[in-house]
Amino acid sequence: MSSQRPAPFFPASARSGGLPRLCFVSYRQIRGFAMPVVAEYTGRAEIEVLDGTFGDALAIARDRLERGLVDAFVSAGSNASILRAGLQAPVATIQLTGFDLLQALIQARRISSRVGVVMYGQTIPELDEVKDLLNIEVMQHAYRTPDDARQRFEQLRRAGFEVIVGSSLVVELAEQAGLHGLLAYSLASVRKGFEDALELARVARLEAGRYEQLNSVLHNLQEAVLAVDRDNRVIAVNPPMQQLLGPAHARPIGEWLERIEPELSLQATLDSGQVERAVVQRFAQRDWVVNRTPIREHGEIVGAALTLYDARAIQEADTRLRIQQGRRQNAARHRFGDLIGQSPAFLRAVQTGRRFARTDLTVLIVGESGVGKELFAQSIHNDSLRAGRPFVAVNCAAFPEALLESELFGYEEGAFTGSRRGGKRGLFEAAHTGTLFLDEIGDMPLQLQTRLLRVLQEREITRLGATGAIPVDVRVIAATHQPLPGMIAERRFRQDLFYRLNTLRLPLPPLRERREDIAPLALAQVARCLQRLGTPLDAARALAPLLARLRAYDWPGNIRELENLGERIAVFLMQFERLDDIRYDELAHDLPELFADANAEPAGGGALNAARVAAALAAQGGNRQAAARQLGVSRSTLWRWQREHGA
């Protein structure tokens, strides 16, 4: 076969329309001999004929290839070997056949009975038989370099040979010495070389079109990607990968990947055909998540692809995703229509909340812990013109003073030790154009109360460590269970801030003042829990025997405590398959609050609160945190009840 397998990538000419572009690189002798054949192919290809010798053939060919002027090369002898070894491009070779040599010897016999033969590569043993048939003396030599060719030629000249058969270089040497030089090629061999070149160009264009599509896709990817062919030669590299490979491998196309970067080898993927995903690998002093994937055509493996994902980028994306999920979780999900209750006190609160939603004024929601202050804040937001905009909630009692300040107002890079690179925007900025819900506002430190007052007055914030103010468009809804007027008298809360927050005041009733709502609230909670637990019991019928106790209970933890007890009731009920199997007398172990005083009647809450607190503390061995969790209230609320009622 007189051709080399096409290289995996070619310049733009290989993918352009029009005739194939061939480059005929030759010595002067074979060039002149082949010109009739070149003329035959004028309508089938664009052919550039170039003089090339050992020294400059490769440089000339590379220049044409890099400039996108050629699809395939045609050459013979030493030039063909040099091009094949030095280029990652298709090279068609004009082969010397036995018939060609026989014709040359017959022609030489007409001139002399002594003929010298000097060919590139190796000698031809079959000449010993031919010379006897032709009745001539033949001495042959082979060469590898121009100097080697000259030495062999000189040996024949000194031996008295006047006719030399050989390659272009040898014929040229013979003519320079005044001897007869005969080219050992036929026009048929030249024609065959050009036919092979056309086929190589056709295949090269097909493959180049495929690889251009691949490169176009890879070029737009952020990840570092390369692909190899079935021989593990690089066929495509995108800019991020090229940057990783560095200037030492500025032209990786066509090179073996093993030689470029053994650490990135795809040979195992080519051999096994197995996909390798999410492998952590250290490369170029960085951590990467690596995918290795075979490329198949019609079920056959024709190559493989390598993708490097920057581990830092993955971590950052994970962080952004978590932040986005957090924002969705903090979005206002509740609406007035979702709230359960028909008691006069509750309906009055809803009516007031809807009225407040039609304004953009600051609202202060007051009420005991667990009455649903954030649910009302979300409902006001969703019923206002700011619906669909950010709703950001922060519990002022949940952060230390320094941390709460940075959370609310943000900070510039370097504002304090441990600050995030690039700084961070605060919750006021995050809530821009929307609503900021400040829960437990009574627990905000006095210093921050001063800053908050300024924000409410000026409608702008200044990040920690910054000098410039940032305008913000935020509606503030605050909430507290604490008696702010009393705190003002004790100088624990700023009076001017109170008046700013108390523009619109929304008091929410405790659950003991809306007993008509206890049954529907408990039913909704138990039904949700039973469904989540996969229990088919009818919630209304299962809960019916407990309704009297639920209504009689004083609910010191309000709706939050009701939700807590509803969970426990559902978990208790899940062990029974039928309603008739439920042993309600055993429920006292799981709900001591409801069974602490079976004969007690609700009478305002004070004594009953004390009884509930005492029962919870006894059940939890005096552990206040566990008792508060059982009651569904905070530790501060539990402590307040103990102070107020001596429990």
pLDDT of residue 238: 85
DSSP 416-466: STTPPTT-B--HHHHTTTSEEEEETGGGS-HHHHHHHHHHHHHSEE--BT-
**Distance (Å, rounded) from C-alpha 304 to C-alpha 267?**
9
Q: Which residues have CB under 8 Å from 343's CB, separation 6+?
A: 509, 513, 514, 515, 516, 517
| pLDDT tens digits along 10-62 | 444 444 457 888 988 888 888 888 889 888 888 888 888 888 766 677 888 88
Specify whether the CB–CB gap between 212 and 9 falls below 8 A: no
Q: Which residues have CB under 8 Å from 438's CB, separation 6+?
A: 394, 396, 444, 452, 476, 477, 478, 479
- Select from 572, 569, 517, 524 the least CA-distant residue to 546: 569
**Distance (Å, rounded) from C-alpha 90 to C-alpha 420?**
55
- Select from 8, 23, 18, 5 the least CA-distant residue to 65: 23
| pLDDT tens digits along 406-437 | 888 888 765 554 445 556 788 988 888 899 99
- Taking CA atoms, 587 is separated from 33, 388, 544, 566, 569, in Å, by 109, 44, 14, 12, 8
pLDDT of residue 421: 55
pLDDT of residue 11: 41
Across the range 482-506, mean pLDDT stands at: 94
pLDDT of residue 210: 59
Classify burial at 102, counting beta carbons within 10 Å of its beta carbon; exposed 0-12, middle 13-18, buried 19 or more: middle
Distance of CA 58 to the CA centre of its chain: 43
**Distance (Å, rounded) from C-alpha 439 to C-alpha 429?**
18
pLDDT of residue 493: 94
Structure-token pair, residue 86 = 């030095």
| pLDDT tens digits along 131-155 | 777 788 888 898 888 888 899 999 9
Triad 599, 602, 608: Cα angle to 5°: 80
**Distance (Å, rounded) from C-alpha 212 to C-alpha 65?**
16
pLDDT of residue 323: 54
What's the one-letter identity of residue 180?
A: H
Across the range 270-295, mean pLDDT stands at: 87
Strands (E), 497-644: 504-507
User: Between residues 352 and 333, which one has the greater pLDDT?
Assistant: 352
Classify burial at 415, counting beta carbons within 10 Å of its beta carbon; exposed 0-12, middle 13-18, buried 19 or more: middle
Is pLDDT above 90 for 357? yes
pLDDT of residue 6: 39
- Select from 48, 37, 26, 10 the least CA-distant residue to 202: 10
Question: Chain-wide mean pLDDT for the chain?
Answer: 83
pLDDT of residue 218: 60
Across the range 518-540, mean pLDDT stands at: 93
Is pLDDT above 80 for 8? no
Is pLDDT above 70 for 599? no
What's the start-to-end Cα distance of the chain, in Å? 102
pLDDT of residue 605: 45
Is pLDDT above 50 for 1? no
| pLDDT tens digits along 532-589 | 999 889 999 999 989 988 998 999 999 999 999 999 999 999 999 888 888 888 888 8
Is pLDDT above 90 for 197? no
Across the range 588-595, mean pLDDT stands at: 86
| pLDDT tens digits along 67-93 | 778 888 888 888 888 888 877 788 888
Structure-token pair, residue 218 = 């890879």
Across the range 278-300, mean pLDDT stands at: 85
User: Between residues 522 and 325, which one has the greater pLDDT?
Assistant: 522
Strands (E), 484-536: 504-507
User: Between residues 105 and 566, which one has the greater pLDDT?
Assistant: 566
DSSP 342-366: -SHHHHHHHHHHHHHHTS-S-EEEE
